[in-house]
């Protein structure tokens, strides 16, 4: 399964996209992945504060990391769970590599220009005669951030595959 396939699956499970045509989701997935690739190649100052904390793993949710005002918080308990999942799947992934990818993913959200991503996706939410209102494609930012994290961290397994496995997919 390719990253485009996994990204289409992610979009398909996002509310508002359930009934969209496969071709539309594939187009958006490809554009979001390309934006993540492009963003990963851009130099940044790398200035971001990272702290480790417990408290990301609940009974129904798993928060690996989050970004607020220049600080990324990485949840150690969630990293352990993902590491266990990776080990069970036989993936060559270490906790440190997962941590690097989680930080990169949050950095992507910090760097990502949502207006530019929406422009590239070209989704029209509304038309008034010749006036077109650009729409937001829910889930596209996550796809771009996953791709960015994969490129920046060099993780041996796609973050999209890990997310799919965490959601109960194969």
Q: How far apart are CA 123 and CA 22, in angstroms?
A: 15
Q: What is the mean pLDDT of residues 137-153?
A: 96
Mean pLDDT, the chain, whole residue set: 93
Confidence band of 9 (pLDDT split at 50, 70, 90): very high
Is a pLDDT exceeding 90 seen at residue 60?
no
Could you identify the residue written with the tokens 């041996």?
156
Quote the pLDDT of residue 25.
97
Q: What is the mean pLDDT of residues 121-133?
A: 90
Is a pLDDT exceeding 70 seen at residue 14?
yes
Nearest alpha carbon to residue 3 among 168, 126, 145? 145
Digit-coded pLDDT (tens) for 94-109? 999 999 999 999 999 9
Confidence band of 48 (pLDDT split at 50, 70, 90): confident
Quote the pLDDT of residue 47.
78
Residue 12 has which token pair? Answer: 């398909």
Quote the pLDDT of residue 43.
87
Q: How far apart are CA 67 and CA 69, in angstroms?
A: 7
Q: How far apart are CA 75 and CA 55, in angstroms?
A: 6
Confidence band of 24 (pLDDT split at 50, 70, 90): very high
Residue 158 has which token pair? Answer: 């796609």
Digit-coded pLDDT (tens) for 67-87? 998 899 999 999 999 999 999
Confidence band of 21 (pLDDT split at 50, 70, 90): very high
Q: What is the mean pLDDT of residues 11-31?
A: 94
Cβ-Cβ contacts under 8 Å for 30 (sequence gap 6 or more) = 4, 7
């Amino acid at each position: 399964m390719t990253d485009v396939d996994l990204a289409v699956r992610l979009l398909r499970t996002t509310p508002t996209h359930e009934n969209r045509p496969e071709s539309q989701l594939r187009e958006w997935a490809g554009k979001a992945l390309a934006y993540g690739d492009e963003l990963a190649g851009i130099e940044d100052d790398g200035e971001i504060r990272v702290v480790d904390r417990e408290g990301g793993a609940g009974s129904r949710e798993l928060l690996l990391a989050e970004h607020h005002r220049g600080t990324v918080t990485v949840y150690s308990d969630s990293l352990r769970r993902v590491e266990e999942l990776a080990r069970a799947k036989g993936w060559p992934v270490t906790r440190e590599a997962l941590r690097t990818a989680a930080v990169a993913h949050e950095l992507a959200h910090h760097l990502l220009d949502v207006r530019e991503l929406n422009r590239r996706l070209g989704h029209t939410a509304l038309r008034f005669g010749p006036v077109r209102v650009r729409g937001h494609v829910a889930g596209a930012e996550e796809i771009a951030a996953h791709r960015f994290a994969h490129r920046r961290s060099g993780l041996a397994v796609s973050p999209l595959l890990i997310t799919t496995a965490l959601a109960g997919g194969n």
